[in-house]
């Protein structure tokens, strides 16, 4: 049983910053922040889960079956991540590319301490607490502003020095090689092997150190996305400015919101509106999105009540600080007794990060990319005790192995028959801009 306490907040933004900073003492952290995007499907403004009571970590072999068992046994809130390479447990696929990060393929934990922020209220749920623990923690979060500010200032100096002197971003795939690989992808499309595939490339830094908390704050300030997340697992970190929801379950309703279609922003209001309008009308971008919508409809149909899959929103353009994005919303209904992990397994990996047909696209992706995707293009989120869940898509994210001093961020884009390799490469650089700025200053 969890002990619940509700506290009214005077300033939720200040509380959020202090709460995330306070959380850094723990080995297991999942922080989810909507950045005040009032998504009609959102349950909370921000969520923090820390301090593992129980955990599951595993490679891809039988990963979903192990997660199903863990989720059933805990019958509690569990938070964690699914890497892209869980594809190898759902299909006869492999991941043999270079991996500089070494995240386990799947990791979830049952947190002792949970914070749910909505409007100007925080709901706190503790497991196995000792007397006055909630009150003591609240006092530390609310009253240690001066000490936190001092620590923040020191951290900013450390990050600034690191960014200016140490971080040298390298490309795993250089420009000429990218063009060559994109051309090979187009050849597969022309032969009919696939219709679309998401082709990604890694940017990385070796022998480099960052302050993950400060780096996340920089990245989040640059982008302010609706699915921002910070994850810490022992010596491994993820700092994500994701704009994309993968999948959400609320009761018997399933929602998936794939993104396909990107355009840059402009400081000139008239030009910016024109960029958004052009994106909404672009036949190449629309065809990318519609193909993935069809794939998502098919994925959801595996667990849906017959006839319940519907497209609620098609190719709508949403504007974020860095980019305009084309987003569609697909919904289905499931039977109440349908296992929640099976719903995710039947749709994973998400269509927006694979291609059409999905299995053929994933095979070609593995052959042409140079880096094991791992956590990138996977998902982070949670399950509730009632069997609901909410997971994002891990894109626009910085991954960091502190022990190996290895920093990585990857970007990609959909290749279709209408793709121009030069424009696809330029789109990748637009998507990479926020991560580079957060690291280099």
**CATH code where residue 68 lies:** 3.60.120.10
Q: Which residue has the tokens 């922040």?
A: 33
- Rounded CA separation 217/225 (Å): 12
- Rounded CA separation 433/441 (Å): 11
Active site amino acids: 244, 260
Whether 385 and 127 have beta carbons less than 8 Å apart is answered as no
- Rounded CA separation 208/163 (Å): 9
Q: What is the pLDDT of residue 144?
A: 60
Residues forming beta bridges with residue 46, ordered by sequence position: 33, 117
- Rounded CA separation 34/11 (Å): 16
Q: What is the pLDDT of residue 163?
A: 44
pLDDT tens across the length of the chain (441 residues): 899 999 999 999 999 999 999 999 999 999 999 999 988 899 999 999 999 999 999 999 999 999 999 999 999 999 999 999 999 999 999 999 999 999 999 999 999 999 999 999 999 999 988 889 999 999 999 986 445 545 544 444 454 444 444 799 999 999 999 999 999 999 999 999 999 999 999 999 999 999 999 999 999 999 999 999 999 999 999 999 999 999 999 999 999 999 999 999 999 999 999 999 999 999 999 999 999 999 999 999 999 999 999 999 999 999 998 899 999 999 999 999 999 999 999 999 999 999 999 999 999 999 999 999 999 999 999 999 999 999 999 999 999 999 999 999 999 999 999 999 999 999 999 999 999 999 986
| pTM exceeds 0.75 | yes
- Rounded CA separation 389/384 (Å): 6
Domain region containing 304: 2-440
Q: What is the pLDDT of residue 38?
A: 80
Three-state DSSP class for 161? helix
Tokens for 258?
A: 């794939």
Number of domains within the chain? 1
Phi, then psi, of 186 in degrees rounded to 5: -65, -35
């Amino acid at each position: 049983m969890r002990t619940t306490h509700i506290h009214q907040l005077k300033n939720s933004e200040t509380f959020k910053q202090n709460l995330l900073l306070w959380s850094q003492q723990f080995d297991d952290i999942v922080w989810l922040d909507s950045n005040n995007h009032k998504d009609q499907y959102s349950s909370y403004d921000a969520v923090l889960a820390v301090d593992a009571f129980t955990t599951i970590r595993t490679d891809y072999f039988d990963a979903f079956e192990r997660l199903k068992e863990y989720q059933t046994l805990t019958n509690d809130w569990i938070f964690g991540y699914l890497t892209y390479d869980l594809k190898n447990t759902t299909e006869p696929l492999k991941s043999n590319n270079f991996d500089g990060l070494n995240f386990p393929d799947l990791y979830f934990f049952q947190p002792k301490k949970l914070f749910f922020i909505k409007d100007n209220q925080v709901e706190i749920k503790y497991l196995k607490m000792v007397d006055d623990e909630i009150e003591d923690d609240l006092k530390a979060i609310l009253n240690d502003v001066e000490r936190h500010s001092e620590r923040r200032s020191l951290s900013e100096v450390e990050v600034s020095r690191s960014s200016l002197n140490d971080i040298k971003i390298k490309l795993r795939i250089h420009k000429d090689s990218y063009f060559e690989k994109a051309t090979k992808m187009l050849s597969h499309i022309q032969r009919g092997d696939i219709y679309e595939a998401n082709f990604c490339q890694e940017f990385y830094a070796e022998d480099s150190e960052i302050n993950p908390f400060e780096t996340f704050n920089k990245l989040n300030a640059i982008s302010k996305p609706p699915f921002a997340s910070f994850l810490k697992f022992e010596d491994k970190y993820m700092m994500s400015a994701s704009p994309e929801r993968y999948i959400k379950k609320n009761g018997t309703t399933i929602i998936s919101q794939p993104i396909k279609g990107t355009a840059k922003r402009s400081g000139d209001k008239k030009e910016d509106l024109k960029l958004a309008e052009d994106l909404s009308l672009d036949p190449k971008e629309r065809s990318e999105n519609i193909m993935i919508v069809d794939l998502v409809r098919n994925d959801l149909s595996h667990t849906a009540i017959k006839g319940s899959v519907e497209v609620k929103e098609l190719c709508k353009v949403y504007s974020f600080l860095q980019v305009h994005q084309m987003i569609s919303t697909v919904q289905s209904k499931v039977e109440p007794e349908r296992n929640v992990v099976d719903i995710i397994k039947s749709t994973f990996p998400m269509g927006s990060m694979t291609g059409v047909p999905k299995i053929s696209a994933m095979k070609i992706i593995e052959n042409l990319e140079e880096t094991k995707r791992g956590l990138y293009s996977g998902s982070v989120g949670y399950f509730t005790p009632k069997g609901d869940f909410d997971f994002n898509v891990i894109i626009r994210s910085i991954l960091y192995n502190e022990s190996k001093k290895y920093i990585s961020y990857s970007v990609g884009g959909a290749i279709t028959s209408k793709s121009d390799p030069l424009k696809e490469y330029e789109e990748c650089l637009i998507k990479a801009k926020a991560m580079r700025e957060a690291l280099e200053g």
